A and B are shown apart, each in its own frame.
Chain A
Amino acid sequence: MKPLHAALTRMLRLPPEPTAPAGSPGSLRVLRASDRYVRYRQLGWLIGHAGFGLFVLMAPVLALLAVALDFSGKGEVPGWASALLLVLAAGLVLGFLTMALLSFLLIELDRQYRTYLLTDRSLRVREGLWIVREITLSFANVQNVSVSQGPIERMFGISSLKVETAGGGGAGAQGMHGAFSGHAAVLRGLDDAETLRDELVAIVRRARSEALAAPVRAAEASATGTLPLEALRAAAAESRRLREALEARMRHE
C-alpha cells in the first residue's frame, strides 16, 4: 500500500501541505478527516463498484457464453470473431479492475491530503486529488455554520460541517465546482463536528464584530486622513495674522 501511495503521489504531483491562512501567530489549528471517513468512503466504493461491476461484467460474460455454447447451433461464428470478443471482454474486465483498484487506493490518499486549516481569523479547506482545490475564507464573512450527517455517516459516527458565506446559488449550480461553489466550504468526515461548530460560531461572532467594523472605521479615518492638512494650517495661520493685524489697527485708532 505504502509504495503504491508514494508512487501515486508522485504521479499526481500532489503539492505539500497548504500554507497557513492569515491569523494571529499560534492560533493555527490543523484538522483532518477521521479514520472512519476512510471506511465510510470504502463502503461507498464497495456498493458503487458492486453494482457497476455486475453491470460491466454482465455483457462480456453473456457474449462469451453465447460464443462458447454456440447458441445458433450452426457453428457459423468465425474463429477471429470469438478471439476478438475474448480480447475485448478481457480488456473490459482488466480495465474495470484497474480503475477499481486505483479508486480504492485514492480513498486513503484523499484522506491524507484533505486538510482543514483554521486560525482565529480564517479558514482554509483543501481537498481533491485530480483537481486540488483550496478555499480560503475569512470568519468575518461567515453567515452560517451547519452540521449535516446522513444515515450511513451516523453508522460510522462522522459528520460534515458546512461553513457558508453570503451569496446565492442553489444546489443546482454546484455541479461544476463541487463542494467549492455556492459560497461555502465543507469540512467532511469530522469526528466531532458539533464541538467544532460551537467553536466556530464563537469565533465568527467575535470576528464579525471586529473585522466588519474595521473597514468602516478605516473608511472614516482615511476620509479624515486625506484632509488637506497643509492648506488647513495655512488658512489657520492666515486667520491668526488677520486677527492680529486688525487688533493692531484697532489699538492704533
Chain B
Amino acid sequence: MTTPNVTSIERPDPALLKLYILRSLLSGPAIFIVLPILLFRYASLRYRFDEDGVSMKWGILFRREIDLAYDRIQDIHLSAGFVERYLGVASIAVQTASGNAGAEMTLEGLRDADAVRNFLYARMRGSSAAATATVGTATAGNDEATQLLQQMADDLRAVRTALAPEAPR
C-alpha cells in the first residue's frame, strides 16, 4: 500500500514552476507582485516525510515552516485542477481537527499524489491497520519484562533476608 519512495520526496515536481508561471500570467497587472512571490516560493519549497510527521517549509525573506504529526491528520483532500491535470501533478491538502476550515498544509506539485495520499492515510488518526499490527508483538515483550522484574524482586528479597534474617519481611 505504501510506496517506499514517498519518504524521499523533498521537492515539488518541476511542473509546479510552469503552473506558478501560468497562474501569475493570469493575474494580469499584478504579475509584477505575484510572479516573484511564486518564484521564490517554488525555489524554496521543501518537503520532508519522516517517521512521525510531514513538514514543509518555504520562503526566502519571510520563512514559513509547518510540521504536522501523522496521527493528527483527519481528512485528506486531493485536488487536481484543469491545468494541473495537463501538467500531470496534483495537490494534497491535509486537515487536522483545528478551528479553521482551511487546510493546515497543502502539498503542491506532487507527481504521484495517489501514493502520497495512501502513505498519509495509512499513518493518520483513526487508521487502525498500522496501529493494531504493533500491539501483538509489543505485548509479548511486555510479558517477558514483567517476568524478569518478578525474578529480580524475588532474588533481591532472598539476598536481603540472607543478609539480615532478623529484619521484618
Contact = CB atoms under 8 A, between A and B. Distances in A.
B8 interface: no
Contact of A225 (B93, B124, B134): B134
Contacts of B82: 12-13, 130-131
B142 A134 contact: no
A22 B129 CA distance: 9
Contacts of A78: none
Contacts of A174: 101
A19 B156 CA distance: 60
Given A168-B98, A169-B100, A246-B163, A239 B156 contact: yes
A84 interface: no
A222 B102 CA distance: 33
Interface string B97-130: 1111111000000000010011001101111110
Contacts of B1: 22
Contacts of A183: 74-75, 95, 97, 101
Contact of B152 (A14, A132, A215, A235): A235
Contacts of A212: 125-126
A136 B75 contact: yes
Given A137-B75, A229-B144, A243-B158, A211 B101 contact: no
B138 A132 contact: no
B101 A169 contact: yes
Given A207-B126, A214-B128, A233-B148, A134 B102 contact: no
B139 interface: yes
Contact of B141 (A136, A170, A207, A225): A225
Interface residue range, chain B:
35 or more
A199 interface: no
A180 B93 CA distance: 10
B134 A243 contact: no
Contact of B102 (A141, A173, A232): A173
Contact of A242 (B76, B78, B101, B155): B155
Interface string B131-169: 110110111011011001101100110110011000000
Contact of B134 (A165, A207, A221): A221
Contacts of A247: 158, 162
Given A134-B78, A137-B75, A229 B99 contact: no
A67 interface: no
B86 interface: yes
Contact of A21 (B103, B121, B142): B121
Q: Which 6 A-B pairs have the closest CB atoms?
A: A169-B101, A140-B126, A221-B138, A225-B138, A173-B101, A214-B131
